[in-house]
């Protein structure tokens, strides 16, 4: 799949898949940033991506971010629609610093990962009744005792 991408700072490299088995490509910070203690921040990624039609770009935290940096993605993941690709639509990585100290992010530091996911759109068919059995809500398949 060929994907059109624009870097705002051409001194920083294009994102790469680190290994042949990598599902996600690394996304780096365009600038040095400080995320204050117990605060939200938006870190510029340097990227404007033309996500292919019928795909979404999922932006997720790197698994090391909470342990190494004390940062998490407050909304779980970011979803980049295929029509979010205008000249001012730089992808920004929203993070929350859950520590009591400011966290520094350096320019070029890997801060997130991106994954392209094929999507389907539903055509709704409203019904008076649904088929199936009630399962009982969250944790209804067993889980914790």
Residue 12 has pLDDT above 80, yes or no: yes
71 and 35 in contact (C-beta within 8 Å)? yes
Weakest-pLDDT range from 8-17, 41-50, 98-107, 136-145: 136-145
The whole-number average pLDDT for the span 4-12 is 98
Residue 84 has pLDDT above 90, yes or no: yes
d(CA 107, CA 31): 4
Q: Report domain 4-118's class.
A: mainly beta
pLDDT at 142: 66
pLDDT at 138: 67
**Closest of 105, 88, 114, 101 to residue 31, by C-alpha:** 105
The whole-number average pLDDT for the span 62-85 is 92
**Closest of 24, 82, 80 to residue 54, by C-alpha:** 82
d(CA 102, CA 34): 6
The full set of domain ranges for the chain reads: 4-118
Residue 139 has pLDDT above 80, yes or no: no
User: Roughly how many angstroms between the first and final C-alpha of the chain, as a whole number?
Assistant: 45
pTM of model > 0.75 = yes
pLDDT at 133: 81
pLDDT tens digits, 111-132: 999 999 999 999 999 999 998 8
pLDDT at 135: 72
Average pLDDT of the chain, as a whole number: 93
Query: Torsion-angle region of residue 63: left (phi > 0), alpha (psi -120 to 50) or beta?
Result: alpha
116 and 52 in contact (C-beta within 8 Å)? yes
pLDDT tens digits, 39-62: 999 999 999 999 999 999 999 999
Rg (CA), the chain: 19
Phi, psi of 103 (to 5 degrees): -115, 130
């Amino acid at each position: 799949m060929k994907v059109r991408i624009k870097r705002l700072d051409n001194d920083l490299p294009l994102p790469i898949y680190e290994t042949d088995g990598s599902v996600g490509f690394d996304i780096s910070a365009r600038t040095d940033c400080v995320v204050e203690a117990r605060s939200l921040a938006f870190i510029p990624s340097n990227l404007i991506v033309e996500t292919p039609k019928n795909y979404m770009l999922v932006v997720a935290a790197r698994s090391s971010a909470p342990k190494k940096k004390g940062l998490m993605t407050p909304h779980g993941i970011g979803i980049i629609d295929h029509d979010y690709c205008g000249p001012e639509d730089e992808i920004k990585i929203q993070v929350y610093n859950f520590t009591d100290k400011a966290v520094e992010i350096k320019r070029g530091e890997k801060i997130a990962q991106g994954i392209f996911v094929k999507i389907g759109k539903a055509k709704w068919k409203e019904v008076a009744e649904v088929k199936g059995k009630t399962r009982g809500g969250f944790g209804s398949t067993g889980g914790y005792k």
